Structure 1
């Protein structure tokens, strides 16, 4: 266990803490009066009081050494190369950024007595199971280098938990959306930008493919519950309610009160027919329960995009 003097707050390292999910997680830990170190290639959009920012690449041993500072009691590892397409084009770089960095952080944590480690993972580790429901106990059968790196990271966490007694949890996020995602290229962000500009969105095939969308506030709550629970294993962080692309578009039209034209184009190879997750086990293991319905979550996202457009943020 990392030593802690009586007058110093506990410290958590959040890698990727300048990103969309990372900023929200950092804010939540600060509201707990914990000290936070952020390690990220990108500078923060807005610095938060009480946060130490390290701008640099976690492949650099010096950055890793500074990131796992004295007093650190846990690591929330969100930093990763997440593009599936880029992972196919650059598998070696994806391995270095995802697997090698995770291994080095785990080893630093072990050496310095940091016994809590949370990893942002993905349901892509199980591959394409059609329209069947994804659960934590499905075999790992990734179909891309990105999915394979996350599967490898999950196995590293399991190994360090088994050999050294560390508390390690892989959080498999579904499609995260919400305020703060202005620069993301996800479908929700594209819809919001299209509504603002009066343009339309491209829809693959008939638009009946289903996705699980989870609001960033629910992701943060799930991350904190995993942190508090002391659970070692895997947990799916999603809404547990999948909707079709056409339903997403209809909901955006309703909450914005504006048109959103759609253009149907052929689906690319490998387009998943459905992402349907079962979150009941996560409710048992870490207490995760999604509380924000899609319409309410999209309304908060729309207000955020409007404020961005008006220059109020």
Structure 2
């Protein structure tokens, strides 16, 4: 297949591009950050620009994997208009251009933030009730996909990702990279509250496989992509200590207002479509450590 990956220069995007190429697909990338890699048609620019979209969605494209987005929850609260423009208006424009050019599938990178705060196990059937502009824009994106699937027959899977980690996170500021930097620099980390908050972490290699499967064959609708196992923050510290061999001291600081005590997801729908997480937390943290270890850090 000929598949366009938006945001293909990003953390998840580069793994998706590699996974698609491994399966023999012809890949194009559009991103504001230049992409370099063998065998990839690269378009550099902002997707808000119609000319960039026009160049990216070339005739003969079979599927679009739409990863490009403003993903900061805090940033969405500070700049809601920008996030709406990038996450909703650009998605709508890409969908319409894809329809006009006969693209058969459009896959959205979504999030469980579309359902907001929820006590219990997340499934795809939990009603949409986002609590932030970011979550609202992703919910809007899912609704756009549903409309185009119903009206025009476009195949539109939406992958609701949990916390994605793995190689290529040196520029990130989420908890796993903070742990890796603390190990490399003999530093420490802060743990919010008691550290017993539970989170589902899924390795980026598994996520990339899910996007390949979604682009090539999955039906329309939301699918939760996670590991299916929730770990406490203190579990993550322990895994990082074992993976790096560093003590990684930490201090407890007051919890953040509104932080969810637990994120537990049911990945039964993904499993029914052939997805199975393959990388354990400890193995995955060891793979992430390779980017930060003093012998490889630049």
**TM bucket by the smaller chain?**
over 0.9
Deviation at 1:304, TM superposition (A): 2.7
Report the secondary structure of 1:305's partner residue.
coil
Question: Which residue, out of 16, 24, 32, partners 2:15?
Answer: 24
Task: Name structure 2 gaps, 5 residues minimum.
Answer: none
Task: Name structure 1 gaps, 5 residues minimum.
Answer: 1-9
What does 1:83-98 correspond to in 2, within 5 Å? Answer: 83-98=72-87
* Aligned counterpart, 2:280: 293
Which moved further from structure 2: 172-181 or 221-230?
Answer: 221-230
Question: Which residue, out of 204, 215, 219, partners 2:203?
Answer: 215
Root-mean-square deviation (CA, aligned residues, Å) is 1.2
Deviation at 1:308, TM superposition (A): 7.5
Note closer, same or farther for the CA distance 1:243–1:56 as it changes in structure 2 (3 Å cut): same
- Say yes or no: does 1:258 pair with 2:242: no
- Say yes or no: does 1:101 pair with 2:90: yes
Any conservation in 1 of the 2:290–2:296 contact (CA below 8 Å)? Answer: no
* Aligned counterpart, 1:224: 212
Deviation at 1:137, TM superposition (A): 0.6
What does 1:237-276 correspond to in 2, within 5 Å? Answer: 237-276=225-264
TM-score, normalization by structure 1: 0.93
Deviation at 1:152, TM superposition (A): 0.4
What does 1:1-313 correspond to in 2, within 5 Å? Answer: 10-44=1-35, 47-130=36-119, 132-284=120-272, 286-306=273-293, 309-311=296-298
Any conservation in 1 of the 2:149–2:156 contact (CA below 8 Å)? Answer: yes
Any conservation in 2 of the 1:27–1:48 contact (CA below 8 Å)? Answer: no
Report the secondary structure of 2:224's partner residue.
strand
Deviation at 1:307, TM superposition (A): 7.0
Note closer, same or farther for the CA distance 1:236–1:308 as it changes in structure 2 (3 Å cut): farther
In structure 2, C-alpha distance between the alignment counterparts of 1:214 and 1:161, rounded to whole Å = 28
Q: Deviations over 1:7-64 (max 9, x none)?
A: xxx42110000000000101111223322111111123xx211111111110000000
Report the secondary structure of 2:108's partner residue.
strand
Any conservation in 2 of the 1:127–1:140 contact (CA below 8 Å)? Answer: yes
Any conservation in 2 of the 1:241–1:276 contact (CA below 8 Å)? Answer: yes
Which moved further from structure 2: 21-30 or 143-152?
Answer: 21-30
TM-score, normalization by structure 2: 0.97
